[in-house]
């Protein structure tokens, strides 16, 4: 299996190097010294995950998060923040960040966030494949239901209509479940982080 790639975007050398030292034994680490350089590197290297400083001169971390998701919807992003910016980081989690980490870094926290982010990326890619497979079937069923609804009544047609309706309902239910998984994961990540902070 290819080594996972993690991108670090931070305009300060100290935090960049600290994260690199923590992550380099398990992952391929890429580094950028600013937002624009990080976005360009993301386009070229297609990292699996990114750690992004929330306060940078060119662009703040929440905007970098948004643009990274445009480049790759499945990329997982953790924000780096000082205590004064925790409220902003919590908002970012609600908009798709896997978590936020505070300075100074705790080694185990970094490794845990990286592992969880890469696991969620794998799940997101699987969900995307399932959605791509299910959506054409759901659309085809909708067309058949519409055609039957417009056709003359008949016992055979009524039975087919019922079967199609049940199949359509089942597919729509599965689509809804898959679509909710990422949102649930985001809420769970925030709750887990808050509980961890409370206990420590």
- CA dihedral 76→80→83→89, nearest 10 degrees, is -30
Residue 59 sits at φ, ψ, to 5 deg, of -165, 140
Predicted confidence (pLDDT) at residue 188 exceeds the cutoff of 70: no
Distance CA 19, CA 89 (A): 18
Closest to 19 in 3D by CA, of 94, 97, 114: 114
| Nearest C-alpha neighbor of 4 from the set 19, 34, 24 | 24
Q: What is the pLDDT of residue 184?
A: 46
pLDDT for residue 147: 58
| pLDDT confidence bin for 187, thresholds 50/70/90 | very low
Q: How far apart are CA 44 and CA 46, in angstroms?
A: 6
Chain segment 44-63, per-residue pLDDT in tens = 999 999 999 999 999 999 99
CA–CA distance, 156 with 30 (Å, rounded to integer) = 62
pLDDT band at 194 (very low <50, low <70, confident <90, very high): very low
Judged against a pLDDT cut of 90, whether residue 14 lies above it is answered with yes
Q: Where are the domains of the chain?
A: 5-121, 125-189
> 44 versus 154: which is more confidently predicted?
44
CA distance 6 to 118: 9
Residue 160 in this model has a pLDDT that exceeds 50:
yes
Of 86, 83, 49, residue with least CA distance to 68:
49
Contact 113, 99 (CB under 8 A): yes
What rounded mean pLDDT belongs to the chain?
Answer: 78
Query: Which one is the CATH code of 5-121: 3.50.50.60, 1.10.1740.10, 3.30.497.10, 3.40.50.2300?
Result: 3.40.50.2300
Residue 99 bridge partners (DSSP): 78
Q: What percent of the chain has pLDDT over 70?
A: 58
Pairwise CA distance, residues 123 & 131, whole Å: 12
pLDDT higher than threshold 80 for residue 67: yes
Checking DSSP bridges between strand 28-32 and strand 99-102, what pairing results, if any? Answer: unpaired
**pLDDT tens per residue across span 95-142:** 789 988 888 889 999 999 999 999 888 777 666 666 666 666 666 666
Q: What is the pTM of this model?
A: 0.66
């Amino acid at each position: 299996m290819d080594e996972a790639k993690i991108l670090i975007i931070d305009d300060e050398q100290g935090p960049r190097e600290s994260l690199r030292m923590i992550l380099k034994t398990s992952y391929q680490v890429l580094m950028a010294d600013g937002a624009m350089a990080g976005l360009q590197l993301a386009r070229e290297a297609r990292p699996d995950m990114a750690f992004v400083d929330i306060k940078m001169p060119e662009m703040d971390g929440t905007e970098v998060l948004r643009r990274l998701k445009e480049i790759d919807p499945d990329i997982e992003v953790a924000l780096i923040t000082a205590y004064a910016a925790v409220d902003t980081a919590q908002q970012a989690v609600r908009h798709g960040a896997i978590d936020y980490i505070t300075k100074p870094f705790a080694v185990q926290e970094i490794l845990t966030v990286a592992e969880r982010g890469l696991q969620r990326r794998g799940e997101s890619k699987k969900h995307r494949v399932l959605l791509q497979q299910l959506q054409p079937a759901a659309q085809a069923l909708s067309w058949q239901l519409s055609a039957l609804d417009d056709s003359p009544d008949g016992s055979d047609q009524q039975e087919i209509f019922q079967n199609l309706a049940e199949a359509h309902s089942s597919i729509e239910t599965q689509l809804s479940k898959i679509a909710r998984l990422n949102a649930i994961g985001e809420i769970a990540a925030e709750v887990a982080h808050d509980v961890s902070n409370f206990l420590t």
